[in-house]
């Protein structure tokens, strides 16, 4: 198996008005809390879990912060996602006024694609990684 560095591939791709004082009203306190609720999430796929962490990211900075939390919580492929977060941060450090605004879902989707490419890098051949990277680039141009 021949491997190529992941980063190389990555780089290629109150009260106002007349009122004198406060005039506010509060609802009465609710009844006692309902029974205990187990907050633990049901078993779900890595992608679904990651998406939950990153769903509301609006920028790459926020995406990295969300990714770091995912890693810190010890979810699947934490080591790989830590490397991806490192790579994003390195690239961001070299970004110079580029328009990098996203839309809802863009950042988790992009990170999952990077995860796939990284997996090809780790477990596939250079030929496969290069072919898939080229194909993804063509797809990006096609859409």
Partner 1 sequence: MATAVARVAFAADSGGGGSSKAPKVAAAINAAFGRFSIPAATSLFIGGDEYSVCNASTMKHYDKYLTQPHINPARCVMTPGNHTNGPGGKSNIPDVSAWLSYNQARGTLSRTNGGWITQSQGIPLTDQYVDVAGIRFIFLNSGAVENVVDKPGWPVPHTGGAVAGNSRVAWLRSAWRPGTRNVVITHHARWSYYGGAHDNPTMQNLIDEIMGRNDGTKPHSSLILQGHDHCMQLMHPQGASGTYPGLVSGVIGLCSTAPTTHAAPASNTSQKSWLQFANITVGGCGFLQIDIMDDFSLELSIIDASDTSGKLMTNTPSTGVTGAATATIRTLAS
Residue 33 tokens read as 């809390």
**Burial class of residue 4 (count of CB atoms within 10 Å of its CB; 0-12, 13-18, 19+):** middle
| Per-residue contact flags (x/-) with partner 1 for residues 99 to 138, judged by CB under 8 A | x-xxxx-xx-------------------------------
CA-based nearest residue to 63, from 71, 53, 49, 73 = 53
Residues 55 to 84 in contact with partner 1, rule: CB under 8 A: 56-62, 65-66, 69-70, 72-73
CA-based nearest residue to 116, from 77, 86, 87 = 77
Tokens 């989707």, located at residue: 109
Provide the Cα torsion 37, 42, 48, 53; round to 10°: 40
For position 27 contacting partner 1 by CB under 8 A, the verdict is yes
Size of the chain, expressed as the number of residues it contains: 143
Stretch that binds partner 1, among 35-43, 81-89, 110-118, 127-135 (CB under 8 A): 35-43
Among 1, 2, 5, 29, binds partner 1 (CB under 8 A): 29
Comparison of 2 and 37: residue with beta carbon closer to partner 1: 37
Comparison of 32 and 142: residue with beta carbon closer to partner 1: 32
Which residues contribute to the site for partner 1 (CB under 8 A)?
14-19, 22-37, 39, 41, 52-54, 56-62, 65-66, 69-70, 72-73, 99, 101-104, 106-107
């Amino acid at each position: 198996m021949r491997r190529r560095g992941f980063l190389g591939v990555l780089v290629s791709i109150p009260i106002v008005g007349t009122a004198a004082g406060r005039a506010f009203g509060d609802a009465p306190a609710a009844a006692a809390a309902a029974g205990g609720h187990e907050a633990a999430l049901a078993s779900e796929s890595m992608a679904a879990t990651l998406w939950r962490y990153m769903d509301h990211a609006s920028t790459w900075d926020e995406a990295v912060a969300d990714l770091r939390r995912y890693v810190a919580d010890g979810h699947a492929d934490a080591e790989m996602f830590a490397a991806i977060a490192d790579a994003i941060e390195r690239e961001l450090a070299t970004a110079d006024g580029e328009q990098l605004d996203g839309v809802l879902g863009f950042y988790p989707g992009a990170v999952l694609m990077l995860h796939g490419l990284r997996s090809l890098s780790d477990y596939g051949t250079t030929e496969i990684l290069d072919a898939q990277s080229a194909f993804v680039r063509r797809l990006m141009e096609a859409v």
